[in-house]
Amino acid sequence: MGTRDKAPNRQDLLQGTLDLLVLQTLQWGPQHGYSIATAIRAGSNDVLQVETGSLYPALHRLERQGFVKASWETSVNKQRTRVYRLTTSGKKQLTAERSRWETLATAMVGLLSPVKPAGIA
């Protein structure tokens, strides 16, 4: 417990964000690492650039935690790729993380909004 208690939450948050994005992407079907990265980039209108240096550790971590499952498949281009798919516990995790994120996002939006929420409405 000791080290985790001392560690700042910032990294956890970022890490959690990437994990959430990966799980979200896999929700539509099995994909390999490259396509997950492209999907996140395309889905965010090129705003979110996924670093491969974070993506692969995240994928392997999710696999270890049992949220995703990996298997080797051959693509139409005869390219052997490692394909990840969501597990049942991964789906649950996605739901939990998403609601956590939504709570956080609502709070953040509320805090950061320059005018009172009432003004928007």
Partner 1 sequence: MKIGPFSSEKRNDELDEELCAHVAMAARDLEERGLSHEDAFSRARREFGNETAIREATKDVWGQRIAEDLAQDLRYGFRGLRRNPGFTFVVLFSFAIGIGANAAIFTLVDATLNRPLPFPDSHRLVVLTDENVEKGRMGQGVSPGNLIDWRADNGVFSGLAGSYARSVVVSEEENSEIVIGAQATEDFFTVHGVRPTIGRTFSPEELEAGMTERVGGSDAGPVVIGERLWRRRFSASPDVIGRTLSLDGITRRVIGVMPASFIASGAEAELWLPWNVKRAYPRLKSVPRDFRFLRAVGRLNAGVTMAAAQERFTTLAATQAHDYPDANAGWTVHLSPLREAIVGETRSTLLALFGAVGLVLLLMSANVASLQMARGAAREREMAVRQAIGVTRPRLIRQLLTEALTLSFMGSALGIALGAVLVRYLLVLAPPSIVAMEGVSMNRRVLAFTLAITLGVSLVSGLWPAIRTSRVALALAFRRSNSGSGSLKLGVRRALVAAQAGISFVLIVGALLLVQSVGALRHVATGFDVENRLMVRVSLNTKKYDTDVKRIAYFDEVTDRLRALPGVVEVGATTVLPMSEGGTDFSRPFWREDRGRPQSGPTPIDVRMILPGYVDAMGMRMVNGRNFDDRDRAGSTDVVVINESFARTTWPGEAPVGKRVVLDYRGGTYPYEIVGVVNDTRYYGPRSDARPEVFIPYKQNAYPALFFVIHSSVPSETLIASAREAVRSVDPRLPAQNVATVSSLVDQRMKAERLAAWLFGAMALIALIMSALGVWGVVEYAVGQSTKEIGLRVALGASSRSVLQDVLWRAVGLIGMGIAFGLILLWPLSLGLRSLLFGVSPLDPIAMLGSIVLLLVVALVASASPAINAARLDPATALRAD
Using CB under 8 A as the criterion, which residues of the chain lie in contact with partner 1 when the complex forms? 1-3, 32-35, 37-38, 51-54, 56-57, 60-61, 64, 72, 75, 77, 79-82
| Least distance in angstroms from the C-beta of 69 to partner 1 | 15
| Least distance in angstroms from the C-beta of 58 to partner 1 | 8
Residue with Cβ nearer partner 1 (56 or 106): 56
CA dihedral (13, 63, 69, 37) in degrees, to 10, reads 50
Residue with Cβ nearer partner 1 (54 or 113): 54
Residue with Cβ nearer partner 1 (84 or 86): 84
Sequence-separated (6 or more) residues with CB below 8 Å from residue 75: 32, 81
Residue with Cβ nearer partner 1 (65 or 106): 65
Handedness of CA 13, 99, 83, 65 (dihedral sign): positive
| Least distance in angstroms from the C-beta of 61 to partner 1 | 5
Burial 7-18 (b: 16+ CB within 10 A, else e): eeeeeeeeebeb
| Least distance in angstroms from the C-beta of 97 to partner 1 | 17
Distances (CA, A) of 88 to 30, 67, 85, 95: 13, 7, 10, 11
